[in-house]
Amino acid sequence: MCVLTAFMITLWVILASEPVSVSTTLDNSLPLSKMDLATERDRPFYSNCVDTREYLLNPSYTKQNASFVMLARNEEIEDVIKTIYSIEEHFNQWFHYPYVFLNDQPFEEDFKAKILNATSGADVEFGTIDEIVWNFPIDVKDTFDFYNAIEDQGDRSILYGNLESYHKMCRFYSGLFYKHPLIQKFEWYWRLEPDVEFFCDITYDPFWEMFQNNKKYGFTIIIPELYWTVPNLFRHTKSFVRKKAIKMGSLWKLFTKDYNFFESDDAELRDWINCGSKAEAKVSEKVAIEHLLKKGDNSRKINDDKEGISNLINKARSKKHIIEDKFFNEEYNLCHFWSNFEIARLSVFDNDIYNDFFQYLEKSGGFWKERWGDAPVHSIGLSLTLDLDDIHYFRDIGYRHSAIQHCPWNAIGNEEFPYVASGSKFKRKNVVYDEGSDFGCGCRCKCPKKKHEIEDSTSLCVSIWVKLMNQQRNHERHVGVLNGDEMERNIREDYSKTYGN
């Protein structure tokens, strides 16, 4: 509940500062979970269940060089088993992808035995993270500044900020996990966490479909980050972008607010307008003042123009709004892929730009001076090289970790391909799946009742995603771009009709 409360506070702050317009293709009277969010650019690979046996026998199908990856401790064995059973039941009992388990301490034999017993014949490897890799550099971790920063975050009630182990985990996942020798053997990975539930059957191979559709990174939850965990992340990112002269991919637009959103020939207006909701008032002010000034020295006409005088006084008293986190007319909107679920090519991280980006952030000290999560680091880092079309929303995959979950509506016709277990371990009895819907995309989903659907409870970032994906390729713009010149023409016409020329 603490996590959800913190997310809701962050979301309220964002929405209060700037309402984000949603795509005109969306019905704003409905929650997102009851809408078909598929676009020509990205949609579920299958809108219903498929016959998995036929799928696997298709001559065109090729199993990918891929693995599940989980960072876990020995004492988390029960939660790890829960995750394995869920992913095996809903997917891997048919596809048999291997697992890689990593730990900063050697895995105990009992842990290994229970893991091997939980899988349905998949290969399993256990790796230890080198102490030098897991810990912060020696010139950092034994200093007063390091421990003072960690304790200070705890004093300020920053979520997990007082846990040194959490900082280490976030840093490891941000830029080091894909360097581990056991991970390097694969081209693709699917990240898992202890205590994860899957709610729908995945009857196709996500790795193969991503390969076939030229997708490089897949998510199932996108939400806003807690502001005080990353107050300076974007500042350092913009510094890196300028220093390296990075030309960002179009994915950058998903995570940033562009203050160049007011397109106008008037440079003064562009400079003054930082908030879309204030644009019309500022343009109206300009028109009213110009109308007043046209009256020249005619004092009687000037005195009669109360509208113009009022706007002139208001402008004289007003000050430009300073936005602390705006750098070169852009600001991080706090949206990020919730990275405890991600399916991706290793190469989206293991490349020169992302590696340099991580090293730049490492030198800044933000992984311990602040509580930078790997989720915002991954998201912003990916946007330095990837385009929107490289990303896939696994909306059909029901998923829960911690108190946050996404569970889609079933597609109509789930009964066409009934569940067939690969062995007695995963047999189901008397399971009643959720009712199908014409906007559903899940396969044999059984969603928890009385649980918040993340698409509805924190819909801001999903709305931005849908808005961007509804735009034409090569014509992508940030959400909420306004045509200032057109707005000014319309206001002038209305003003002339009301007050005359």
Residues annotated as part of the active site = 342
Residue 203 CA: distances (Å) to CA of 123, 164, 438:
20, 40, 19
Name the token pair of 466: 């849908």
How much of the chain is in helix, strand and coil states, percent to nearest 5?
Answer: 45, 10, 40
Dihedral pair phi/psi, residue 236, rounded to 5°: -70, -35
How far apart (Å, rounded) are the C-alpha atoms in residues 224 and 359? Answer: 24
Q: Which long-range contacts does 282-285 make (Cβ < 8 Å, 24+ apart)? A: 283/484, 283/487, 283/488, 283/491, 284/311, 284/491, 284/495, 285/311, 285/314, 285/315
Find out whether 479 and 467 touch, Cβ atoms under 8 Å: yes
Helices (H), 349-451: 352-364, 366-369, 374-382
CA distance 285 to 124: 67
Structure tokens at 233: 């992340």
**What is residue 323's DSSP assignment?**
-
Query: Would you give the end-to-end CA distance of the chain in angstroms?
Result: 59
